[in-house]
Amino acid sequence: MFGDDPLTADEAASAAIVARLATDRARAQKLADLLPEEFEEAAVAAYECGPQWCVDIHFAAPPDQAAVRARLAALAGDETATAFRFEPIAMRDWVAASLAGLTPVEAGRFIVHGAHDRDRIPVNRIAIEIEAALAFGTGHHGTTRGCLLALDRLLKMQGPRPCRRKAGCARAGGGRRPARRTAVLDIGTGSGVLAIAAAKAARARALGSDIDPVAVQAARINARHNGAGALVDITQAAGLGASRLAARRFTERGPYAIVFANILLGPLTRLAPGVARLLAPGGRVILSGLLPGHANAALAAYRSCGLRLAWRLTLEGWVTLVLTGPQSARPNSPAASASVSRS
């Protein structure tokens, strides 16, 4: 592995495979633009690693390395394809070690932390404890933090009453009960941090979805651990549901006042029509996972569905877009159906 101790037999059996390239920033960012569309079955990341930049392609199952190199060569040239190294990476590399040395992350009223910092969190902050888990979303990445900052700004505009207590969020605030209708949708929920943040800050019901069953399990545990289990529901789904039955679950819970989608450009643009249909009149969509060169393409996809840009935030080289939906319900949307049923 990349300078770490050798894998044990048990770790090797459950290890993922990563193809890694150490390069300069310009080349890393160029590859980060190109690779996600080509390797939709994998997770692509570009980040600083010491004096250089690293580009990782994470495969959940061992890939055909020759086939991967051929795809890389066709996309970026033989030199780039040859420079990538394939190595097993144990779950411990990005699970147990990932949070051990991380400090709490502040994003507006929110502070995301590990158990080792639990006793150092100010009582006037909305604390979200995310322990090491096999899911993306500790708040340290610019995309997650951008979404939290956007949520904080939206809630300040709406004037919600937050629930800061770890236990009993559904009962906090003088016995006020949360609305029955789900108010928040978090697509690609990862650790569940955004759904949990919305539930704790606004006492809103939230539905989170992820294609990864490990992430789904981790998000459910995190929701319960943060006292938001009664408000946060996590489901396994690709996008907004690959089948009619799966898609119905999203429709029945809508319309949504806030929709998060912190993923990649390709899925974000494909989801635009579905997100627009599920959005409540005047609802907000928070998009992230976007490099600066991708933001306008994502914005164009959602503008074509009737949404408009409220503001954008660039943080650590990543763009977060906040969009506003039309004030009237779109035809065939959950909001339109609800209106018809009440008339």
The pLDDT tens digits of the residues spanning 6-57 come to 445 554 455 678 899 999 988 988 898 888 878 888 888 877 787 888 899 9
Q: Does the pLDDT value for residue 95 go beyond 70?
A: no
Q: Alpha-carbon distance 301 to 109, whole Å?
A: 31
Q: What per-residue confidence (pLDDT) applies to 160?
A: 46
In the prediction, which pLDDT does 58 show?
Answer: 85
- CATH 3.40.50.150 residue ranges for the chain: 136-342
pLDDT at position 181: 53
- What's the CA dihedral at 281, 284, 285, 288 to 10 degrees? 170
Give SS3 for 55. Answer: strand
Contacts of 242 (CB under 8 A, 6+ apart): none
Band (pLDDT 50/70/90 cuts) for residue 178 is very low
Across 54-63, 91-100, 126-135, which has the greatest mean pLDDT?
54-63
Considering the chain, what percentage of its residues have pLDDT values greater than 70?
77
Find the mean pLDDT for residues 286-291: 93
Stretch among 17-21, 196-200, 243-247, 284-288 having the lowest mean pLDDT: 243-247
Tokens describing residue 124? 């006037």
pLDDT band for 222, please (50, 70, 90 cuts): very high
Q: Which CATH class is domain 9-91?
A: alpha beta
Q: Which CATH superfamily is domain 136-342 in?
A: Vaccinia Virus protein VP39 (3.40.50.150)
**Residue 187: its pLDDT value, please?**
95
| Region of poorest pLDDT, from 127-131, 140-144, 156-160 | 156-160
Give residue 279's pLDDT.
96
Give the residue range(s) of CATH 3.30.70 domains in the chain. Answer: 9-91
Q: Are 115 and 122 in contact (CB under 8 A)?
A: no
The pLDDT value given to residue 233:
94
Average pLDDT over the chain, rounded to whole? 81
In this structure, what token pair is assigned to residue 169?
């969020």
Looking at mean pLDDT, say which of 85-89, 92-96, 166-170, 243-247 comes out highest: 85-89
Predicted TM-score (pTM) of the model is 0.67
Distance CA 237, CA 212 (A): 8
- The better pLDDT of the pair 133, 313 is held by 313
Of 66, 24, 16, nearest to 42 (Cα)?
16
